[in-house]
Amino acid sequence: MSASTHTASHTSGEVNYINEFKGLKSWFTSLDHKRIGLLYMISVLFFFLVGGLFALLIRLELFKPGAQYLTPDQYNQVMTYHGAIMVFMVIVPGIPAILGNFFLPLQIGAKDVAFPRLNLTSWYVFMLGAIIAICTLFLGKIDTGWTFYTPYSIKTGTAATMMVVAAFVMGMSSILTGLNFIVTVHKLRAPGMTMFRIPLFIWAIYSTAVLQILATPVLGITLLLLAMERTFGVGIFDPNLGGDPVLFQHFFWFYSHPAVYIMILPAMGVVSELIAAFSRKTIFGYTAIAFSSIGIAAVSFFVWGHHMFVSGQSEVAGIVFSFLTMLVGVPTAIKMFNWLSTLYRGNISFESPMLFALGFLFLFAIGGVTGIMLATIATDVHFHDTYFVVAHFHYVMVGGTLMALMGGLYYWFPKMFGKMYNETLARLTFVLIFIGFNVTFFPQFILGAMGMPRRYFDYIPAYQSLNSISTIGSWLIGCGFLLSLYVIVTALRSGEKASDNPWGAKTLEWQTSSPPPHTNFHVEPVVTAGPYEYK
């Protein structure tokens, strides 16, 4: 595939992937998975900032009942952009494309991913999609919600077709990344690195990649059909023309439910790494955690109908999907129990990455249990399309995935940049984000149970106090993330030099220098033991 372009020899430990080549061009044409990971990091964190600003706008508008700062149409647009940016541009690519790109080859002892040129291509494809998505902001906007539900998405006068194209393009990027990762895991493991010696983060990334390959193409064709529908009115999803809008939801959730696990599985992988490292203990139930990742990936394809309990889906299908959805609880609980058992009698220390991991356990447990409530048809009919659902998936997506992403970034930061950050401030970011998160979203469970519908620009005065609390929480989260930006930037500028293995972790990436050389290892590693052999 790629021709090797580097010339310097690794006689001194000072030469690394960052300083080996200079200039902007060397970054934008680099085939090095580590540099591509950083390209993803910069772009995804930027989009996270944009999506976060939209979130703050939503909460600001909902601070009090009645119109505050936005018109109802603007509110719908802000809500759509918040959802679409966060899903397609932040959480789906987030952990796999940043941390996965950077650490997948390092953790399995490979020099790069299987197809480095394809890897760079997928970043460009991702950016192309992202730019198209951003362009819709100036060319008509979009107000369908990130789910593009028909028949409204057929009728709306906004730039829905363009946004659909953007999502299609970003989906292609996601497919290419997944393809690359699967082949890398299959073919590029170092000598002695058997499938049951790869770190659990790799199992999670691997399961995610399988989902990206199997689910994303169906999203592609769904969006293509939607574009056809808008352009020619073929009627497949249009009830006026004999079509079935529920079929759109089937197609959409065939992708988007597995996509939910594309978002959470990598987070679970990160947490497995963090808990083992900071408990300084062999992970409890390695095989069980590895197979539960594959299990969650497999089950995810059989449960999508739980998004459609009140969409006019047949009762039979509803009951079948409700039953199947309960199965998700099994592999998820297996993971929870194994993490807790790893903590038990571990030599635990509470550095900032570990705080985020523990935060994950707490918030994800709430997100998971409320998921079971929503999977039960009888309760879902009451909770559906209320703020209960909003709170549920934010506990999973933000409380789960973003917590893990933050934890992972702090954990691997010394390896990525060879510098340490201010630990006290990093812990403070955790406190702000964790408290802010609960203040923002716990009231939404109550609001949902009280019947406040989601996606509306206005609400009755009875909901006011809880909504105000929620909005105040959103400011705390915002402060938390701004502070972590400060922590990262100051660490990059003037952080102390990090040692090769500041946490005393056992996985392979810590055996090389910080930051690693272009080819990852000075000597090709030979693996003789599992990833978590703590004594």
Instruction: List interacting residues with other proteins (CB under 8 A).
Output: 1-4, 6, 9, 105, 110-112, 114-116, 118, 175, 178-180, 182-183, 185-189, 191, 194-195, 213-214, 216-218, 220-222, 224-225, 228-229, 232-236, 239, 241-244, 246-247, 250-251, 254, 301-302, 304-305, 312-317, 320-321, 519, 523-524
Instruction: State which residue, 270 or 298, has the beta carbon closest to other proteins.
Output: 298
Q: How far is the CB of 371 from other proteins (least distance, A)?
A: 19
Helices 101-108 and 160-187: crossing angle in degrees, nearest 10, is: 10
Measured from the CB atom, the residue of 324 and 482 that comes closer to other proteins is 324
For residue 122, the minimal CB distance to other proteins (Å) is 12
Amino acid (one-letter) located at 358: L
In whole angstroms, how close is the CB of 5 to other proteins at the nearest point? 9
Measured from the CB atom, the residue of 60 and 294 that comes closer to other proteins is 294
Task: Give 3-state DSSP helix, strand, coil % of the chain, rounded to 5.
Answer: 70, 0, 30
CB nearer to other proteins: pick between 484 and 520: 520
CB contact burial 138-155 (16+ within 10 A = b; e otherwise): eebbbbbbbbbbbbebbe
- If one counts every other C-beta atom within 10 angstroms of the C-beta of residue 168, the result is 20
**Region for residue 110 given its phi and psi (left: phi exceeds 0; alpha: psi -120 to 50; beta: otherwise):** beta
Type of residue at 164: V
What one-character DSSP code corresponds to residue 509? Answer: G
CA atoms within 13 A on the CB side of 178: 24
- Name the residue nearer to other proteins (CB basis): 317 or 420: 317
CA atoms in the 13 A half-sphere facing the CB of 341? 13
Please identify, using beta-carbon distances, which residue of 202 and 487 lies nearer to other proteins. 202
Q: How far apart (Å, rounded) are the C-alpha atoms in residues 212 and 230?
A: 26
Specify the residue, 9 or 424, whose C-beta has the smaller distance to other proteins. Answer: 9
The minimum distance between CB 78 and other proteins, in angstroms, equals 31
Q: Which helix (H) or strand (E) holds 167?
A: helix 160-187
The SS3 call for residue 256 is: helix
Nearest distance from residue 417's CB to other proteins, in Å? 23
Q: How far is the CB of 480 from other proteins (least distance, A)?
A: 38
Looking at the Cβ atoms of 47 and 304, the one nearer to other proteins is: 304
Q: How far is the CB of 109 from other proteins (least distance, A)?
A: 11
Which sign, positive or negative, has the C-alpha torsion 232, 237, 240, 243?
Answer: positive
Whether the CB-CB separation of 262 and 193 falls below 8 Å is answered with: no
Output 253 or 413, the one with its CB closest to other proteins: 253
Measured from the CB atom, the residue of 136 and 322 that comes closer to other proteins is 322
H runs (alpha helix) in 344-463: 352-375, 377-383, 387-396, 403-417, 423-450
CB of 317 to other proteins, least distance (A): 4
Alpha-carbon span 121 to 170, nearest angstrom: 12
Smallest distance, other proteins to C-beta of residue 332, A = 20
Q: How far is the CB of 34 from other proteins (least distance, A)?
A: 13
Q: Under a CB-based contact definition with an 8 Å cutoff, are residues 269 and 336 in contact?
A: no
Distances (CA, A) of 89 to 77, 220, 294: 17, 16, 24
Which residue's structure tokens are 């085939």?
31
User: Is residue 164 within 8 Å of residue 223, measured between CB atoms?
Assistant: yes
